[in-house]
Every structure is written in C-alpha cells, then in structure tokens.
Structure 1
C-alpha cells in the first residue's frame, strides 16, 4: 500500500484547513496532523470502513489546534477548544450546522479511549490514528511500505518531545481534563517508546 492507494481529498475546505494548520502549528504538529489523516485512511481501506474523507481530513488538520498559543483555552480542555475552532472554521466554509457539529465531535472524541466505528467512523478513525502516531498504539498494523513512504515525506521531527511537553502543560493547568489523566497514566513514557521513532 502507498499514498496513491488512499483517498486524499482535495476540496476548498481541505485546502483551507491545511493552510490554517500550516499557519498555526509547528512543523512537527503539522506533519503529525497529516500522518493522522493518512494512518486513518489506510486503516479504513484495510478494514473496509466507509468514511467522509473531507470531514476526516479537516478534523485531522485541526484536531490539535487547541494546543497552539493562539487557540489555547484556560477554561476548557484542548480538544474541546479545537472542536470549537473547527465549528467556526466549518461555518466559514459553508458547511451545514449538522456537519459543523460533526467536525466538533470528531475532534473532541479523538481523545476518548475508544470510539465505536458503527456510531462514528470518522471519530473512530481519528482516535485510532492519533493514538498510533503519538503513543505508538497498534503501529504494527500500518503497512510497512506506507509507513516508510509517509515518514520520509512527513518526518516526525520533534513530535515526541514537543507533544510530551504540550500534554504535560495541559495536564498541569487542567488536571481534570483527559490530558491530565493521560499524564498521570504515563503517556510520556509511551510517547518516548513509540516504534515510529525507531523506523
């Protein structure tokens, strides 16, 4: 499997979401967002999961926007802040209120322990793919040829160090958030042991 085998949407909303991510994310977080979409689309293809490619791509590009200084919230968890940014972005893109809400849900749910695929395929795929890319969960399911191509084109750079620092900061400032729970459960160690950083 390689990138040409995957659904890579090219719509005005997708191009704009990439532009927003490129403007506000560090290079490491931008590459992470791209890989999150690719790992999700690959998993969907391997397991015959139907999904809305535009919705998933926009959500992947914006799922960590709440970690950036410009959109960080001191009152809500970063995934909720990101969901609100996505809702506003999608309103500007002309999406229906229902579709805007779906983007919000997908981003919030990417932090859940599990999202049932039958209830929310895009949420399921983003939760799975971000877990692969950050904590190394189920990375053995990524086809080797795709993994090599994607890591060469969108390298990991400093994502392990940068994300560990971001989630630790979120957990310290918002201890009741899911990020706070992740910190207490040892996410820093899981990030450091991610097999993708040894590829």
Structure 2
C-alpha cells in the first residue's frame, strides 16, 4: 500500500508537495518513536502522503475544505487496499484535522502524529525537539527547495482560491488573506450579530 501511495502521489503532486509529504511522514514517525507512541507506520505514511491531495486542481470546485477532500481520497485509496474501517477513520480524521491547531494532539496517536509531522515541516513546530542531524538528514534526502515557504503558501492559496468560503474558522483564511487582496474573511462575531435571531 505504501508503494502504491508513493507512486500515486509522485505522479499527481508537484515535487515540492511530494517532498513535503515525505518529510512530514519522517518528522511524524520520529515524534512517535521519541514519545513511545503506538502507531501503524504504513497508515501514518498514507496520511502524510494524502494530507494535501485536496489542493489538487480537480477539487477546485469542491464545496469542502481541502483537508476533507484529501481525507476522502485517502479513504477511497485505503478501501481499495482492504484496510479496515476503524483504521481508515483514524487516517481520515488525521488528514481532516491536520491544519486545526490545538485538537489533534488530544486524539489518537495517528491523528496527533499526522498533524505534528506536517506542522514541523511547514512552520517548524517543536523544531528543537529534533536534533540538527535529524533535520539535516531529512532535508538532504527530501530537499526543501529554494523559496519553499513562499511556494508552499502559493500552493495552498491556489488550491483554495476558487472556494474561499471553505476557509472560515481555519488557518487557511490566513493564506487567502495574504494571497488575494480581494479576499474578505468571514468573521464569527459578525455572523452571530448579523444572524436572523432577534436577540
């Protein structure tokens, strides 16, 4: 299954996103080993491989958050490989919540680790929990290409610019706020105060 996931993601994602997924997996696995967590490495790998699939152009008209599209794609993929529904649900939740700070670390190990690996590679979360050697070896094997930070933000923005309403209440609103000068984020307080309720 891991080989099939690798081939699929290598074929459908840019090298930037493919290498990001591989680094996210490695940082996630190292976190799990360091914290003595029990997890299935192959399921973690699939979660890391699929976590950004929802940004692909084929989902640009989707009504869902990109995380949900990625989680749904991973679910379909795992069903084709005979994975049980409980395991599929763990991966699904891990992908769906990987951009939701403060929640995944309180859930199952697999969910927490998918988020931890992604957050380490994207924003350096818990950067100093890894040795310089670990960081350097991972970045050497799967390079962070020049301008990775800006290119990643652009990839996220391009995956969401056609469905800006899906970013409400997420860190993804920050991406579109920086990317699109015409983007106007929804405001929770405005929605409450502007609702049809009389008081």
TM-score, normalized by length of structure 2? 0.79
Q: Is the 8 A contact 2:119 2:125 kept in 1?
A: yes
Deviation at 1:125, TM superposition (A): 1.0
Q: 1:113 aligns with which of 101, 117, 125?
A: 101
Deviations 1:51-98 (A, max 9, x none): 111111111011111112234453111100000000100110111222
Query: Which sits farther off after the overlay, 93-102 or 16-25?
Result: 93-102
User: CA RMSD of the aligned region, Å?
Assistant: 2.1
The aligned counterpart of 1:43 is 31
> Relative to structure 1, is the Cα distance of residues 83 and 50 closer, same or farther in structure 2, using a 3 angstrom cutoff?
same
Which of 87, 92, 114 is 1:99 aligned to?
Answer: 87
Deviation at 1:118, TM superposition (A): 5.6
**Equivalent of 2:3 in 15, 23, 28:** 15
**Could you tell me how far apart the structure 2 residues matched to 1:133 and 1:41 are?**
13
Most deviating of 63-72 and 170-179: 170-179
For residues 72-151 of structure 1, the aligned pairs below 5 Å read: 72-117=60-105, 119-151=107-139
Equivalent position of 2:193 in the other structure: none
Q: In structure 2, list runs of 5 or more residues that go unmatched.
A: 180-199
The counterpart of 1:164, out of the listed 136, 148, 153, is 153
Partner of 2:16: 28
- Look up the SS of the partner of 1:70 in the other structure: helix
Q: Give the conservation status (yes or no) of the 8 Å contact 1:79–1:107.
A: yes
Scaled by the length of structure 1, the TM-score of the pair is: 0.79
Gaps of 5+ in 1: 1-12, 188-199
Q: Aligned to 2:175, which of 176, 180, 183?
A: 183
What residue number does 2:54 align with? 66
Shift of 1:148: 1.1
Aligned length: 175
Distance 1:101 1:117 in 2: 16
More divergent stretch after superposition (46-55 vs 76-85): 46-55
Q: What's 1:174 paired with?
A: 164
Partner SS state of residue 156, structure 1? coil
Looking at CA atoms only, which structure, 1 or 2, has the larger radius of gyration?
Answer: 2
CA distance in structure 2 between the aligned counterparts of 1:73 and 1:124, rounded to whole angstroms: 29
How far apart are 1:28 and its partner, in Å?
0.7
Q: Give 1:161 shift.
A: 2.4
